[in-house]
Structure 1
Amino acid sequence: MPHEIAIYGVLVPSLLPVFILCLLLMVLLDMLVGRLGLYRQVWHPSLFRLALFVCLFGVAGLLLIH
């Protein structure tokens, strides 16, 4: 796994693009869950959002390693 990625001559950490993609995916999932009304079934929606993002980012980060 490379430690840095060169984007237009700027070195960024390799997890930064993964973080941004997971953030965009999280926004889409948040809109979908909100429209389906699933947040009514969750005890604390903010914690659910955080846990979902951590799971997405963790899986994406582990996939980047292999």
Structure 2
Amino acid sequence: MGLREWSLGGVLLSPMLIYGLLALCLTGLLRLGLQRAGASRWIWHEALFDCALFVCVLAAVVALLGH
């Protein structure tokens, strides 16, 4: 996919928008899986964990798709 802008009806869109939405969905699925597995009771600060998990997933998505 690369890190070049996309033209959608004459409007340039950043690929980070799509990467961010994909990372948000994956983070939600990971968080749901952690809750169902019972691992969420070991999380000390949930908001901080969610933010860190999103940043890690976003970095992985950009590393995998943005060459």
State percent identity of aligned pairs. 38
Number of the residue aligned with 2:11: 10
Aligned length: 66
C-alpha distance in 2 between matches for 1:28 and 1:65: 22
Gaps of 5+ in 1: none
Structure having greater relative contact order (Cα 8 Å, sep ≥ 6):
2
Question: What's the counterpart of residue 47 of structure 1?
Answer: 48
RMSD across aligned C-alpha pairs, in angstroms?
Answer: 1.7
Structure 1: 4+ residue segments shifted above 3 A: 7-10
Alignment partners' CA distance in 1, 2:33 and 2:9? 34
Per the normalisation by structure 2, the TM-score is 0.79
Summarize deviations over 1:25-58 as a string: whole Å, max 9, x none: 1111111111111111121121111111100101
Please give the alpha-carbon distance, in whole angstroms, between the structure 2 residues aligned to 1:48 and 1:2: 27
Runs of 5+ unmatched residues, structure 2 = none
Name the TM-score, length of structure 1 as normaliser.
0.80
CA distance in 2, matches of 1:36, 1:47: 20
